[in-house]
Chain A
Amino acid sequence: MTEGSEVVPGTTPETALETPQQADRARTIFEKSVPGRRAARLAEAGIEERPLDELIPADLLRDEPPGLPEVSEPEIVRHYNRLSRRNFDLDTGFYPLGSCTMKYNPRLNERVAALPSFSRLHPATNPEDAQGALELMFLLQEALSEICGLPHVSLQPSAGSQGELAGLLLTRAWQADKGRNPTKVLTPDTAHGTNPASVAMAGYEAVKVATNPSGGVDLDDLRSKLDGDVACLMLTNPNTLGLFDPNISEIAGLVHDEGGLLYYDGANLNAIMGLARPGDMGFDIVHVNLHKSFSQPHGGGGPGAGPIAVSETVEPFLPRPQVVRRPGSAGVPEFDLDFDRPKSIGRMRGFQGNFGVFVRSFAYILSLGGDGLREASEGAVLNANYLRKRLSEGRAGRYLPIGFDQPCMHEFVLSGGPMKKELGLKTLDLAKRILDFGFHPPTVYFPQLVEEALMIEPVETESRETLDSFADAIEQILEEAERDPEIAMGAPYTTPVRRLDEVGATRNPVLREAA
């Protein structure tokens, strides 16, 4: 049985079955509170119970306890288990969300991250008592350095967007060290929204560079915008259209000639591991999303981690502390935190970064090895091209043409423009109907330069049968829409709730349970 086949296509509002769970009005844990109920039982202090206001002046103490719920432990477990069943997740079904690299999250990684000597290790533990953790970080730095083709790595940034901001602050420090103070950063018009947002937070002006007819950077436009006032160019390669920009070396030369740096957004690294390296393409600073290419679970919106790899000349500015290996000598720990970095931009965050994520990603790298990482990227690109081919046939080919018609890397972008014009169906409608077939929809309406965009990233951990069933489902939905587009316009029908009023939620925000 394939994934989509358990859903009856053509389910309409009239025939949709509402489960008791769906009929149940969503109630929060606060609404389930009953005075006097409790779960935790705490220890006695074990000493004389002095009145609190003897210890802390009464005017600094609270009169009323915070309005937390009063619930028993079984109720908490049932509440959150029931909530969990209102989520779609990667372990249950295909999740081809473009630019997000929804690859399988190995359970081994969860097991090793939970080892008490990792999970209960305090971040301020004296380095001599944390040699295993520091060595792991050092080895992960080395592995990421090799994969990115750049000699130095800081693991500190908490996520891709913090990696971007760190990279831009590194750029600022690097430029200032050369006595320069450029004001602009170039980003392609296909860039992820975090790029310009990070540019603004780093105090730069974001300037857009146009895309050429084959999906790459428009070199003429780039030349016209490059001058001594450009601090850096931020790129993904392959870009957000899933295309590798073949002019990358020329682009790097142009940027470097004007004294700028080249920044690599690693969101799409899953296409090229072991095949091509950002450093070899001329990039100076790279961030890596460990929650994408290196299998950290996304957790419903975090945690992740966004380490950065940099070239030799950028290294002095890396955030501190940096994990280093010292020549072994008596009384000096071999692996240590180096705070003595006078040119460092400083900390981006507290302590050493998201170590629990490092454990999972390092276990993933050990499991796959160098060859396995290359095979993973090859598999991701093969799966993307196979699905692209399947979706170029039949109705999908007619209503959902590919935005840029050429072999893709790990993802590709279709345009729902013809579907909208001929069937009256928007990309949003298609996405919502896909939910009824048991799949997560692709990323929609991004990148913005493709009309009614659908961005599809099938990843290497999906089988051919899954890709086939997804392509079949799209065909079925389009065939259904030819007969009756209203069905998709009213979708979804089989989900815990149906289409939600998002505009109303923003116009009249209700952001917490009323007291």
Chain B
Amino acid sequence: MAGYSPLTDSDREAMLGALGLDSVDQLFETVPEQVRLDRPLDLAPGAPENEVFDRMSELASRNRDPEADPCFLGAGMYDHYVPAIVDAITSRSEFLTPYTPYQPEVSQGGLQVMFEFQTAMSELTGLPVSNAGLYEGASAAAAAAYMAIGATGRHRLIVSRGLHPHAREALATHAVGFGCEIEEVGLAGGLTDPDDLARALDDETAVVFLQNPNFLGSVEDLAGLSEVAHARGALVAASVDPVTLGILESPGKCGVDIAFGEGQALGNRLDFGGPSFAFFCAGEEHLRRMPGRIAGETTDVDGRRGFVLALQTREQHIRREKATSNICTSQALNALAGMIHLAWLGKQGLVELGALLARRTAFARDQISAIEGFEPLHDAPVVREFAVRSTAVPVEMLRVGGDQAGRPLAVYPLARDLPEFGDSFLVAITEQRSIDDIHWLVDSLRESASGARPSFNGNRIGTTDAEPRKAA
């Protein structure tokens, strides 16, 4: 196999000749015999492109067909439509293949995208300082904790049980290294319990973690909860869903100190969980403690406007163990996809999208609540996702068309993450879930609850036969 290398045998010979060597093996003489691999790697031999394509297609074919039946899975990642221009732009070599913009003179495109992304995220969150992106939502919570510990000198974290369970677990993993304790605050009626929060707070609390809408889909009173936290001198970090920020009050205006979140819903596909990006915004006072890359505006020697990586003295390559974070990626390509999607939606579109989701979500919640055997887990307001309790059948019995031999319904069971709601599941709505799709879900739930009906033959049930799946 060529392995994408242009070197021919005669190239090798000539190059070895220039080095005064006979064989490539001689280049590895500094590698001691006892650590050299004395056999070929136990991997299949290389394959031609068409065969690799076939093998990968075969693996793909053993996953759920995204066109097969509607997906109501959410829990932090959502099946939104990705506009065609996102693919057209992000597949350009000039965005796809460079490294981090260490040479700004030849990286103005990427740096300006970062600057625009920061502007957009500041607008969404209502906080003045944004970085250029972090890995993804759950680990961004750990980055927020590290920053808050540095800013307050305190070592206790309080976490709402409404925070995404993956973020809670990532915080717990990282807290071992940060040397801090975590206390959890419970939910009441689907919302973070403000009295429990007040009880948990003390003068050692660095930061309170909230999520909006929270993991159960409920819209929290961020302003009220922030007030409770601030009364004890704690910061507030809120994980927010960017798609809802066209209609929900900005976290900055609610008094949140650090707003971060999973960015997948903006311009990125599900990809079985990644790659995506996180955004991370805070107040001016935290500027020099921000994690990750930040682009800043400047001028060149001729006075032309340009962009550079700013505030690099925070970062690991300069500050080493005193750095504000070890993170050195901004998920630039994923953040670019997010920026393009936001520009495509625009000022009106993001508001319209939020309203569309809120209306369809309310509709779906009403419809499902009307079925025998299902009820809303709570009555709190929701935007794009809600929790349902299944009182007649276990959640794992919810199947497409109610057929017990059929495929699992694509809804999110809460049992693993929140065992106290083991009989409940989440339903997420995107603009790709039509009213017909919602009726289809209602039918499948009804059939599942009323006992297995083995008549499902692969066609859709109810009113949805004519609805083609849209490609994202």
| A495 and B105 in contact, given A56-B381, A197-B323 (Cβ under 8 angstroms) | yes
Comparing B230-238, B329-337, B450-458, the segment that makes contact with chain A is B329-337
The list of the 10 closest CB pairs from A to B, nearest first, reads A351-B273, A299-B333, A369-B46, A303-B275, A123-B273, A370-B41, A132-B62, A302-B329, A91-B93, A88-B106
Comparing B197-205, B357-365, B371-379, B441-449, the segment that makes contact with chain A is B357-365
Task: Evaluate contact between B62 and A203: CB separation under 8 angstroms.
Answer: no
Given contacts A149-B37, A505-B310, list 16 more A-B pairs with CB under 8 A: A60-B248, A128-B408, A131-B62, A162-B139, A274-B40, A275-B36, A300-B110, A302-B277, A303-B331, A349-B136, A366-B52, A382-B16, A441-B103, A461-B4, A461-B5, A497-B302
CA distance A275 to B107 in the complex (A): 36
Within 8 A of B (CB), among A217-255: 243-244, 246, 248-249
CA distance A26 to B467 in the complex (A): 45
Within 8 A of A (CB), among B57-73: 57-67, 71, 73
| A158 and B332 in contact, given A47-B435, A90-B98 (Cβ under 8 angstroms) | no
A87 to chain B, nearest CB (A): 4
Task: Evaluate contact between B326 and A129: CB separation under 8 angstroms.
Answer: no
Task: Evaluate contact between B271 and A373: CB separation under 8 angstroms.
Answer: no
A189 to chain B, nearest CB (A): 11
Interface readout for B127-148 with A: 1 if CB under 8 Å, 0 if not?
Answer: 0111011011111000000100
Residue among A86, A193, A302 with the highest chain B CB neighbour number at 10 A? A302
Task: Evaluate contact between A132 and B60: CB separation under 8 angstroms.
Answer: yes
* A407 neighbours in B (Cβ, 8 Å): 27, 29-30
* A37 neighbours in B (Cβ, 8 Å): 346
Interface readout for A58-91 with B: 1 if CB under 8 Å, 0 if not?
Answer: 0111100111111101001101110111111111
Residue B77 contacts which of A197, A351, A367, A379 (CB distance < 8 angstroms)?
Answer: A351
* B313 neighbours in A (Cβ, 8 Å): 506
Task: Evaluate contact between B1 and A511: CB separation under 8 angstroms.
Answer: no
| A301 and B293 in contact, given A88-B106, A129-B407, A169-B173 (Cβ under 8 angstroms) | yes
Whether B418 is near chain A, meaning CB under 8 Å from some CB there, is no
Task: Evaluate contact between B347 and A83: CB separation under 8 angstroms.
Answer: no
Task: Evaluate contact between B343 and A88: CB separation under 8 angstroms.
Answer: no
A66 to chain B, nearest CB (A): 4
Task: Evaluate contact between B37 and A275: CB separation under 8 angstroms.
Answer: yes
Residue A136 contacts which of B59, B89, B347, B356 (CB distance < 8 angstroms)?
Answer: B59
Residue B37 contacts which of A133, A202, A277, A376 (CB distance < 8 angstroms)?
Answer: A277
Interface readout for B1-25 with A: 1 if CB under 8 Å, 0 if not?
Answer: 1111111000110111011000010
Within 8 A of A (CB), among B399-422: 407-408, 410, 412, 416
Comparing A105-113, A308-316, A479-487, the segment that makes contact with chain B is A105-113
CA distance A299 to B89 in the complex (A): 12
| A501 and B18 in contact, given A46-B434, A349-B139, A373-B43 (Cβ under 8 angstroms) | no
Whether B184 is near chain A, meaning CB under 8 Å from some CB there, is no
| A115 and B56 in contact, given A297-B96, A366-B47, A382-B12 (Cβ under 8 angstroms) | yes
Whose C-beta in chain A lies nearest to the C-beta of B324? A197
Task: Evaluate contact between A68 and B347: CB separation under 8 angstroms.
Answer: yes
Interface readout for A500-513 with B: 1 if CB under 8 Å, 0 if not?
Answer: 11101110011111
Whether A355 is near chain B, meaning CB under 8 Å from some CB there, is yes
Residue among B177, B309, B362 with the highest chain A CB neighbour number at 10 A? B177
Whether A415 is near chain B, meaning CB under 8 Å from some CB there, is no
Task: Evaluate contact between B416 and A339: CB separation under 8 angstroms.
Answer: yes
- Interchain residue pairs with CB less than 8 A apart (14): A38-B349, A57-B219, A60-B219, A61-B247, A69-B347, A80-B336, A86-B112, A90-B98, A121-B64, A298-B98, A303-B274, A303-B331, A498-B300, A509-B296
B277 to chain A, nearest CB (A): 8
B435 to chain A, nearest CB (A): 4
Residue A509 contacts which of B219, B311, B407 (CB distance < 8 angstroms)?
Answer: B311
Task: Evaluate contact between B56 and A506: CB separation under 8 angstroms.
Answer: no
Task: Evaluate contact between A379 and B344: CB separation under 8 angstroms.
Answer: no
Task: Evaluate contact between B345 and A40: CB separation under 8 angstroms.
Answer: yes
Whose C-beta in chain A lies nearest to the C-beta of B64? A129
Task: Evaluate contact between B346 and A52: CB separation under 8 angstroms.
Answer: no
| A38 and B348 in contact, given A116-B471, A382-B24 (Cβ under 8 angstroms) | yes
Whose C-beta in chain A lies nearest to the C-beta of B133? A302
Whether B179 is near chain A, meaning CB under 8 Å from some CB there, is yes
Whose C-beta in chain B lies nearest to the C-beta of A204? B177
Residue B332 contacts which of A300, A352, A435 (CB distance < 8 angstroms)?
Answer: A300
B472 to chain A, nearest CB (A): 6
Residue B343 contacts which of A71, A198, A389 (CB distance < 8 angstroms)?
Answer: A71
Residue A68 contacts which of B123, B299, B321 (CB distance < 8 angstroms)?
Answer: B123
Task: Evaluate contact between B363 and A47: CB separation under 8 angstroms.
Answer: yes
Within 8 A of A (CB), among B154-201: 164, 166-167, 169-170, 172-174, 176-179
Whether A4 is near chain B, meaning CB under 8 Å from some CB there, is no
Whether B207 is near chain A, meaning CB under 8 Å from some CB there, is no
Task: Evaluate contact between A511 and B44: CB separation under 8 angstroms.
Answer: no
| A117 and B66 in contact, given A80-B89, A87-B98 (Cβ under 8 angstroms) | yes
Task: Evaluate contact between A368 and B297: CB separation under 8 angstroms.
Answer: no
Task: Evaluate contact between A71 and B24: CB separation under 8 angstroms.
Answer: no
Task: Evaluate contact between A300 and B95: CB separation under 8 angstroms.
Answer: yes
Task: Evaluate contact between A496 and B105: CB separation under 8 angstroms.
Answer: yes
| A197 and B356 in contact, given A112-B53, A506-B310 (Cβ under 8 angstroms) | no
A173 to chain B, nearest CB (A): 8
Residue among A61, A356, A359 with the highest chain B CB neighbour number at 10 A? A356
B305 to chain A, nearest CB (A): 5
Whose C-beta in chain B lies nearest to the C-beta of A200? B321
Whether A330 is near chain B, meaning CB under 8 Å from some CB there, is no
CA distance A460 to B173 in the complex (A): 38
Whether A152 is near chain B, meaning CB under 8 Å from some CB there, is no
Whether A194 is near chain B, meaning CB under 8 Å from some CB there, is yes
Task: Evaluate contact between A246 and B31: CB separation under 8 angstroms.
Answer: yes
Comparing A95-103, A395-403, A418-426, the segment that makes contact with chain B is A95-103
Whose C-beta in chain A lies nearest to the C-beta of B272? A355
Whether A307 is near chain B, meaning CB under 8 Å from some CB there, is no
Residue among A192, A368, A407, A512 with the highest chain B CB neighbour number at 10 A? A512
Residue A122 contacts which of B47, B135, B326, B410 (CB distance < 8 angstroms)?
Answer: B410
Whether B269 is near chain A, meaning CB under 8 Å from some CB there, is yes
* B370 neighbours in A (Cβ, 8 Å): none
* B326 neighbours in A (Cβ, 8 Å): 161-162, 164-165, 194, 197-198, 200-201
| A248 and B32 in contact, given A90-B93, A355-B273 (Cβ under 8 angstroms) | yes
| A502 and B316 in contact, given A61-B247, A158-B136, A206-B321 (Cβ under 8 angstroms) | no
Whether B431 is near chain A, meaning CB under 8 Å from some CB there, is yes
Whether A17 is near chain B, meaning CB under 8 Å from some CB there, is no
CA distance A506 to B295 in the complex (A): 10
Residue A350 contacts which of B273, B317, B472 (CB distance < 8 angstroms)?
Answer: B273
Task: Evaluate contact between A382 and B56: CB separation under 8 angstroms.
Answer: no
B322 to chain A, nearest CB (A): 7
Residue A105 contacts which of B12, B96, B301 (CB distance < 8 angstroms)?
Answer: B96
Residue B99 contacts which of A119, A120, A301 (CB distance < 8 angstroms)?
Answer: A301
CA distance A354 to B349 in the complex (A): 29
| A130 and B272 in contact, given A125-B73, A382-B24 (Cβ under 8 angstroms) | yes
Whether A348 is near chain B, meaning CB under 8 Å from some CB there, is yes
Residue B381 contacts which of A60, A87, A367 (CB distance < 8 angstroms)?
Answer: A60
B379 to chain A, nearest CB (A): 12
Interface readout for A271-300 with B: 1 if CB under 8 Å, 0 if not?
Answer: 011111100110000000000000101111
Residue A39 contacts which of B177, B317, B344 (CB distance < 8 angstroms)?
Answer: B344
Task: Evaluate contact between B52 and A67: CB separation under 8 angstroms.
Answer: no
Whether A124 is near chain B, meaning CB under 8 Å from some CB there, is yes
Whether B369 is near chain A, meaning CB under 8 Å from some CB there, is no
Task: Evaluate contact between A513 and B146: CB separation under 8 angstroms.
Answer: no
Residue A370 contacts which of B43, B249, B319 (CB distance < 8 angstroms)?
Answer: B43
* B431 neighbours in A (Cβ, 8 Å): 42-43
Task: Evaluate contact between A497 and B89: CB separation under 8 angstroms.
Answer: no
Residue A301 contacts which of B100, B108, B272, B319 (CB distance < 8 angstroms)?
Answer: B100
* A62 neighbours in B (Cβ, 8 Å): 245-250
* A121 neighbours in B (Cβ, 8 Å): 63-64, 66, 270-272
